[in-house]
Structure 1
Amino acid sequence: MQPTHHPLDRPPVFTGIDPDPHQDSMTIHLGESLTSNVLKQCTQAVRELVALALKDCGGSQAAAEVLLGTYNGRSYPMNLTELCRLDDRYYKAAVTVIHLRCRLNTEPHQLLANGDSIFQKLAQEWEHLRVQH
């Protein structure tokens, strides 16, 4: 009798964000460079999360933590369970922003006109998330 394997026994293979046929979605894959198309997708993801972070709703803190954590992770560490508050659209945007920072070595504020001032406003709005060193 062959031993059965649990699906978690195998390491996950990340192939990027799969497209959703029901909406304009982001398809980012490891190893990509910051091409025009990738830049457009990443910029859209940052804009969506900024708009969400400036609202007063359940996913606002998660969006703020992703943005501020990729902007200044030492001062704004992220609680990963906050991602559970995001619907699929915003979750994909969050993963795209994390990918932008970690794999494309680009900080999210760099993609926005007046990005520094926008992120300073986010930092002020979410000051209570800041860890003092």
Structure 2
Amino acid sequence: MASRLIEDSPEDQRRAQAEWEREIREASERRDTDYDAGLPALKRLFDIAHGNSGQCRKVAAFLLGLYNGQRFPFDMTDLRSVDQEIFEDMLLVLRMDSCPRAEVHTYFANGGRAFEQLANDWQLHTSAWEPTDKGMSRQRDGYMCFIEPTTTDGQLGWRWLIQSGGGLAWRGGNEITRVAEGQIYSASYGARYAKEAIDQWFERGGETPHRDEV
């Protein structure tokens, strides 16, 4: 026996449509409410993050976690040690950012640079070398540093480079600029020598070398 398709009545369809429209309207109203409360809270937290107390550092870490959680993981237990008003503002920002209209840094002029500078001021950038798909990298003083293995005429070596721009660190604009690079020909100690070469570049003054290094 063939089965019969049971269709909703016109009245059921109208009720379902009305319910769907109500849910959409309420969700939009909640987003508006969260935005109206969250944006002022975000700006208050941003001001606090530029202070000089232990709480200010935790607020900075919280904001950077929203900005880029992979690069700046935030310890949630730090929420226990901030003042109640700060904690409430954090919750307001979280509600706003749960269904964001924009990334948190875009609410500020030159927001990407401002947040990267905030990380630099509090030294919240990862200072250790981290593995990449080609080698290893780290951030230092607003630059990105890379070390990658290479092979030239069958000889294993290590290439190092320092760059600004590209949105990976706070120096420079959208375009990536290589400010220094070099090659180390050593299979056993090349990576270590490459790290030392990068450190020496910074110690000499970077893009503006000390007078006796020119």
Same fold per superposition (TM over 0.5): yes
Q: Judging changes above 3 Å, is the alpha-carbon distance between structure 1 residues 51 and 122 closer, same or farther for their aligned structure 2 residues?
A: same
Question: For 1:49-68, what aligned pairs fall within 5 Å after superposition?
Answer: 49-68=45-64
For 1:113 and 1:43, the matched residues in 2 are separated by 14
**Structure 2 residues not aligned, in runs of 5+:** 1-25, 131-214
The equivalences for 1:60-99 within 5 A come to 60-99=56-95
Deviation at 1:119, TM superposition (A): 1.1
The CA distance in 2 between the partners of 1:83 and 1:130, in whole Å, is 21
Structure whose residues are more often strand by fraction: 2
Q: What is residue 140 of structure 2 aligned with on the other side? A: none
Structure 1 residue aligned with 2:114, among 103, 114, 118? 118
CA distance in 2, matches of 1:111, 1:124: 20
Which is richer in helix? 1
Q: Where in structure 1 are there 5+ consecutive unaligned residues? A: 1-29
> Whose radius of gyration is greater, 1 or 2?
2
Aligned position for 2:172: none
Structure 2 letter corresponding to 1:126? W
Alpha-carbon offset, residue 67 of structure 1: 0.4
Count of residue pairs the alignment pairs up:
102
Is the partner of 2:69 in helix, strand or coil?
Answer: coil
2:38 corresponds to 1:47 = no
Which whole-Å CA distance do the structure 2 matches of 1:59 and 1:78 have between them? 14
CA distance 1:60–1:42, shift in 2 (3 Å): same
Q: CA deviation at 1:129?
A: 4.9
CA 109–63 in structure 1, closer or farther in 2 if over 3 Å, else same = same
Residue of structure 2 aligned with 1:106, choices 84, 102, 106: 102
- Cα distance in 2, alignment partners of residues 127 and 101 from structure 1: 25
- Superposed CA RMSD in Å reads 2.4
Q: Secondary structure of the residue that 1:55 maps to in structure 2?
A: coil
TM-score (norm 2): 0.42
Which shows bigger deviation, 90-99 or 73-82? 90-99
Q: Tell me if the contact between 1:97 and 1:108 (Cα under 8 Å) persists in the aligned partners.
A: no
